[in-house]
A = this chain, B = another copy of it.
């Protein structure tokens, strides 16, 4: 179906600091990828093409990566780890499709978004279909605990998004509120990926808890990275429009730190700029390369989270997977560092 074709430019995804981490579970990630691609076939032929487009976006597949590494680190990879990875990625893609409606986003991963291409009505339903399919697969796990944890994480993601939506342009949003939103909307799925990777191997509860905490911190740090990228990134590299968060009234960590650190008069001026949508001016201020500047402080904050995540890994046996989990932290540290340049 020609209409659904994506440009091949979108396929180069495991370059950069993440590449060696990805390599550790490459063959399982390939299985995840082919299983994700097969999901479209579960649908009515009339809608298969839309599903294929939505899931074929060649994301970074970070949640699958976490699920697989965690499985490898805690006793070995089973087919159920691949299934877990697929389910979590489908939920993630479903939320992206819905996010793009709300953000009126035009491009995602270098391609037109589903809503830009086929409108909001279809996007709402397509997200629902993906979500239903994820939970359909999720019912296949032997332990009800697995399905339940996945559904709970999905609920957390949506709840986090609601709170974020409610508090757009809310200049009283505190840094603690931001942390909670980030943990809910991004941390939850990362966290359940790492936790359930261990649960599938019947790991000790203390190990599963440590991995849950690792996933939560890595997820939160990744969201901080993504939020900084929206201010300091390069549009042509990341494949989406910059300044989107500010334009939509999403107050992310650098903005909150700017507001908090500014003297009263300045704070009022910045607040007015946010409300008036002076995104370019604000971005310039946020990009100021000073020590203690909001962007730099946000980057350090994300890096501290990553180090705390890495500290959780001491409970794991040393093997290529647990080392790769540590390395994943290092890769994110490096990505964050690149934003300082």
Known: A128-B161, A135-B151. 7 other contacts (CB 8 A): A44-B184, A128-B128, A129-B158, A131-B131, A132-B155, A132-B158, A136-B152
Check if A197 is an interface residue, CB within 8 A of chain B.
Answer: no
Q: A46-B163, A121-B165, A162-B122 are in contact. Are A139 and B147 (CB under 8 A)?
A: yes
Q: A124-B98, A125-B98 are in contact. Are A135 and B159 (CB under 8 A)?
A: no
Check if A102 is an interface residue, CB within 8 A of chain B.
Answer: yes
Identify which of B95, B122, B139, B150 contacts A144 (C-beta below 8 A): B139
Q: A161 near B125 (CB under 8 angstroms)?
A: yes
The prevalent SS among residues of A at the interface is: helix
Q: Using an 8 Å CB-CB cutoff, how does the interface string of A300-322 with B read, 1 for contact, 0 for none?
A: 00000000000000000000000
Interface residues of A in 74-89 (CB under 8 A from B): none
Q: B161 near A132 (CB under 8 angstroms)?
A: no
For A166, the closest partner residue in chain B by CB is B46
Q: B124 near A159 (CB under 8 angstroms)?
A: no
Residues of chain B within 8 A (CB-CB) of A140 are 144, 148
Determine the distance from Cα of A162 to Cα of B133 in the docked complex, in whole angstroms: 14
Q: B44 near A159 (CB under 8 angstroms)?
A: yes
Residues of chain B within 8 A (CB-CB) of A166 are 46-47, 122
Check if A71 is an interface residue, CB within 8 A of chain B.
Answer: no
Q: Across chains A and B, which 6 residue pairs bring their CB atoms closest together, nearest first?
A: A136-B151, A139-B147, A132-B155, A102-B121, A139-B148, A128-B158
Q: Using an 8 Å CB-CB cutoff, how does the interface string of A246-262 with B read, 1 for contact, 0 for none?
A: 00000000000000000
Residues of chain B within 8 A (CB-CB) of A136 are 148, 151-152, 154-155
CB distance from A30 to the nearest CB of B (A): 26
Determine the distance from Cα of A44 to Cα of B184 in the docked complex, in whole angstroms: 10
Name 13 interchain pairs, CB-CB below 8 A, sorted by A.
A44-B159, A98-B128, A101-B120, A102-B125, A126-B162, A128-B154, A129-B155, A129-B158, A131-B131, A136-B152, A139-B144, A140-B148, A147-B147
Check if A294 is an interface residue, CB within 8 A of chain B.
Answer: no
Residues of chain B within 8 A (CB-CB) of A101 are 120-121, 124
Residues of chain B within 8 A (CB-CB) of A102 are 120-121, 124-125
Q: B147 near A132 (CB under 8 angstroms)?
A: no
Q: Using an 8 Å CB-CB cutoff, how does the interface string of A108-144 with B read, 1 for contact, 0 for none?
A: 0000000000001110111111011101101111101
Residues of chain B within 8 A (CB-CB) of A169 are none
Check if A50 is an interface residue, CB within 8 A of chain B.
Answer: yes
Check if A53 is an interface residue, CB within 8 A of chain B.
Answer: no
CB distance from A172 to the nearest CB of B (A): 14
CB distance from A329 to the nearest CB of B (A): 29
Residues of chain B within 8 A (CB-CB) of A155 are 42-43, 129, 132-133, 136
Determine the distance from Cα of A138 to Cα of B138 in the docked complex, in whole angstroms: 11
Residues of chain B within 8 A (CB-CB) of A154 are 128, 132, 135-136
Residues of chain B within 8 A (CB-CB) of A44 are 159, 163, 184
Q: A151 near B128 (CB under 8 angstroms)?
A: no
Residues of chain B within 8 A (CB-CB) of A138 are 135, 139, 147, 151
Determine the distance from Cα of A154 to Cα of B43 in the docked complex, in whole angstroms: 12
CB distance from A98 to the nearest CB of B (A): 5
